[in-house]
Amino acid sequence: MAKDLRPIIWDDDKKELILIDQRKLPNKLEYFICKTYEDVAFAIKDMVVRGAPAIGVSAAYGLALAEIRGDDIYKAYEVLKNTRPTAVNLFWALDRCLEAYKNGKSILEEAKEIHNEDVETCKKIGMIGEKLIEDGDTILTHCNAGALATSAYGTALSVIRFAFYNGKKIKVIADETRPRLQGAKLTAFELSYEGIPVKVITDNTAGFLMQKGEIDKIIVGADRILADGTVYNKIGTYSLAVLAKYHGIPFYVAAPLSTFDLKSKEEDVIIEERDEKEVAYIDGVRIVPENVGCYNYAFDKTPPELITAIITEKGIVKPNKDDILKLFSK
């Protein structure tokens, strides 16, 4: 069961954060121990832990470690906040912990609450979203919006998991997701771990499969969703959404309310640009001529008109401001 695959564990006796080291998957299931907030900041930056909800939960424990060790909370907050710029859950979780601290509440208690809520939220997303899946569907997903990207179950993969748990015979196609290969390494790992049928494709195969009529639905996660329904997610999401529109394939985004950023406008959102070496090298071997540079944007922006619906823990909504704002008043 998915809930066994938990990338984030808090050890209350040792006061340590234990993370599955996602850099080592699928070949090794190793753990990375964080004893300080600096360890957590490194783990987020270096993608030991990744995925919007998972980095939010980890950062909350990072701030708790700062409190436990008597470090400067405001400095720790800044360091953790500057690890990755796009996924809003990081800022949401840190702000929530800082607010708790200012109100005299233990940061550790707040972090534990955020962690437990994330498990429940992802479970609800799966239970609500699985109703959109039909028996026999082949579902395409991108990157890893799975248990490994959250505290358990995942967002997009929670929908897939619950459809499978409910006896629907589904097949999953996972985009490999260059350059970090979260689809090939993580999505394929966690789905096959549970016996959910999955096949990996190169990113440039997706259009061909759609053209052949082999994809029934597309479900992806999100790193940030604006009030108008604009979705920021792993680079390549936008291309998939355009292809889906052309081929008349439903395109769903699954995300918790903590991924919505109702305050920011498009110009406020920073798209992370990572080291170009991630693109230039494969397995330590340079594949691009020495004198040629690379673009390495980690995320892209998908406009609401390309999105069929957004699946949240509070229900399924159309990507528009009225429906999104109603979610927050429920």
| Catalytic residue annotation | 223
**H and E: helices and strands count for the chain:** 12, 16
Beta carbon of residue 149, minimum distance to ligand MRU (angstroms, whole number): 4
- Identify the residue among 121, 155, 258, 308 touching ligand MRU (CB under 6 A): 155
- Identify the residue among 64, 181, 215, 222 touching ligand MRU (CB under 6 A): 222
Residue 126 interacts with ligand MRU (CB under 6 A)? no
Residue 233 interacts with ligand MRU (CB under 6 A)? yes
Torsion, Cα of 130, 133, 134, 135 (10° steps): -60
Residue 283, C-beta contacts closer than 8 angstroms, at least 6 positions apart: none
Per the CB < 8 A criterion, the answer to whether 310 and 319 are in contact is: yes
Residue nearest to ligand MRU (CB): 221
Beta carbon of residue 29, minimum distance to ligand MRU (angstroms, whole number): 18
Stretch in the footprint of ligand MRU (CB under 6 A) among 6-14, 97-105, 129-137, 214-222: 214-222
Residue 220 interacts with ligand MRU (CB under 6 A)? yes
Beta carbon of residue 67, minimum distance to ligand MRU (angstroms, whole number): 25
Residue 200 interacts with ligand MRU (CB under 6 A)? no
Number of amino acids touching ligand MRU (CB under 6 A):
18
Helix 156-165, helix 107-129: angle, nearest 10: 60
Q: Report which residue type is found at 102.
A: K
Sign of CA dihedral 231, 127, 182, 152: positive
The smaller minimum CB distance to ligand MRU, of residues 210 and 296, is found at: 296
Residue 52 interacts with ligand MRU (CB under 6 A)? yes
Secondary structure (3-state) at 33 = strand
What whole-number distance in Å separates Cα of residue 58 and Cα of residue 310?
25
In the numeric block, which tokens belong to residue 168? 């629907």
Beta carbon of residue 71, minimum distance to ligand MRU (angstroms, whole number): 25
To the question of whether residue 154 is assigned a binding role by annotation, the answer is no
Per the CB < 8 A criterion, the answer to whether 181 and 214 are in contact is: no
Name the DSSP class of 186: I
Beta carbon of residue 65, minimum distance to ligand MRU (angstroms, whole number): 21
Q: Report which residue type is found at 164.
A: F
**Which residues contribute to the annotated binding site?**
50-52, 84, 182, 233-234
Residues in contact with ligand MRU by the rule CB under 6 A: 50-53, 143-145, 149-150, 155, 182, 220-223, 233-234, 298
